[in-house]
């Protein structure tokens, strides 16, 4: 995918302990973990989801997606990187949150909150002096913590406006950039924020629910990461916009749960990056049968620095769900065309309120 070149340079830096000033100057951002959605579902759908609030992990694309149906949830994912880079590279994360409705005049008001954690783990490396004497073992990683809050407003029983914002703290803890008789790890931190909005129309045709939505989001904005004795490195700030449509059939009873027999989600997203990375767009879809079987596919295209078509990424995935009363559980599997990524796994648990 588009971040392949930046990732390979970053991985090379950590594994081989090349000087930091050289490696950081060649990548688009030091905070690579902020470019990875912590969702196997999203990865299967072309990494789309700006206007799709059917999965809480989509706060990665737009903080307004924290506003969803009234529920309490927990979700997470993990995947390894290919061994040709290193044996112990992996990334993943998870989130937990709540969304509930309260009366506000004649229309309901939905209030939501989410706490997310993401991690890119580069594994262990051993630093040695010029003669080959070991100086220490280091565990390199980067991670972030994000708090997202949002509110949803319904107008005239059909129009829904969702607003959201997030604040993030990013930490980088890397193996030393220079080898000497005294070795100290390189540690960095940064703060970022997201803001976004979604406008959705709730309508129906012959008992089928149809919900189209349009959304915009400004993601990972904040000051550059300060790199000692080198130029500062920017965060992966980006402007994202997209459209989504969700179509659901009438519900049926399965294990005492009321679920649509068929539910379809289709997303189209575009992303404009602020710091030299290419423009990208993606499409993705999901077909859910009785909230038990989920089938997904998606594709993404990117432009290079000169605006010409560059590498593309696509993926597919499946999910298995368990609906019981107000309880929902789902287990996801995704495979992508990215040569540096292994299979992705995820889970999601919801309690409807």
DSSP per position, 34-81: GGS-S-HHHHHTTT--TT--SSGGGGGT-GGGG--SSEEEEEEEEEEE
Of 195, 241, 186, the C-alpha closest to 220 is 195
- Grouping H, G, I as helix, E, B as strand and the rest as coil, residue 154 is strand
Give me the residues paired with residue 284 across strands. 267, 298
Give me the residues paired with residue 77 across strands. 93, 346
pLDDT for the residue numbered 83? 65
Q: With contact defined as beta carbons under 8 Å apart, do 317 and 335 qualify?
A: yes
Q: Are strands 238-248 and 309-324 parallel, antiparallel or unpaired?
A: unpaired
Q: Is the dihedral of CA 53, 274, 92, 282 positive or negative?
A: positive
Label residue 176 exposed, middle or buried (CB < 10 Å: 0-12, 13-18, 19+).
buried
Averaged pLDDT in 10-residue chunks for the chain of 353 residues: 42 38 44 90 94 95 95 94 72 95 78 96 78 78 96 88 97 75 77 97 92 97 83 88 97 93 97 80 96 95 58 85 96 88 92 93
pLDDT for the residue numbered 26? 32
Q: Which domains does the chain have, with CATH numbers?
A: 4-352 (2.40.128.130)
Q: Are strands 186-201 and 159-174 parallel, antiparallel or unpaired?
A: antiparallel
Q: Which residue has the tokens 């989920």?
A: 294
pLDDT for the residue numbered 339? 73
Of 273, 250, 298, 245, the C-alpha closest to 2 is 273
């Amino acid at each position: 995918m588009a971040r392949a070149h930046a990732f390979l340079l970053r991985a090379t830096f950590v594994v081989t302990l090349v000087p930091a000033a050289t490696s950081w100057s060649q990548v688009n951002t030091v905070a690579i973990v902020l470019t990875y959605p912590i969702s196997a579902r999203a990865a299967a759908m072309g990494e789309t989801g700006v206007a799709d609030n059917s999965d809480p992990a989509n706060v990665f694309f737009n903080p307004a997606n924290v506003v969803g149906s009234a529920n309490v949830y927990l979700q997470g994912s993990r995947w390894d990187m290919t061994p040709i880079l290193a044996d112990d590279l992996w990334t993943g994360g998870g989130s937990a949150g709540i969304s509930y409705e309260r009366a506000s005049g004649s229309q309901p008001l939905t209030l939501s909150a989410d706490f997310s954690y993401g991690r890119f783990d580069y594994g262990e490396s051993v630093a040695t002096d010029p003669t080959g004497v070991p100086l220490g073992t280091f565990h390199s990683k980067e991670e972030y913590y994000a708090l997202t809050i949002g509110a949803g407003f319904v107008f005239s029983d059909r129009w829904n406006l969702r607003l959201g914002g997030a604040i993030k703290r990013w930490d980088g803890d890397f193996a030393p950039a220079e080898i000497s008789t005294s070795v100290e790890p390189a540690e960095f931190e940064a703060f970022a924020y997201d803001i976004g909005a979604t406008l959705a129309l709730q309508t129906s045709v012959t008992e089928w629910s149809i919900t189209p939505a349009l959304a915009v989001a400004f993601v990972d904005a904040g000051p550059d990461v300060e790199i000692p004795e080198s130029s500062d490195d920017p965060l992966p700030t980006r402007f994202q916009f997209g459209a989504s449509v969700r179509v659901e059939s009438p519900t049926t009873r399965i294990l005492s749960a009321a679920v649509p027999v068929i539910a379809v989600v289709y997303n189209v997203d575009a992303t404009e990056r602020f710091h030299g990375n290419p423009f990208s767009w993606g499409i993705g879809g999901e077909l859910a049968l009785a909230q038990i079987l989920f089938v997904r596919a998606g594709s993404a295209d990117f432009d290079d620095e000169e605006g010409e078509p560059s590498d593309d990424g696509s993926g597919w995935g499946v999910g298995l769900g368990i609906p019981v009363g107000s309880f929902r559980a789902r287990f996801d599997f995704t495979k992508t065309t990215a040569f540096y990524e292994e299979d992705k796994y995820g889970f999601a648990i919801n309690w409807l309120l």
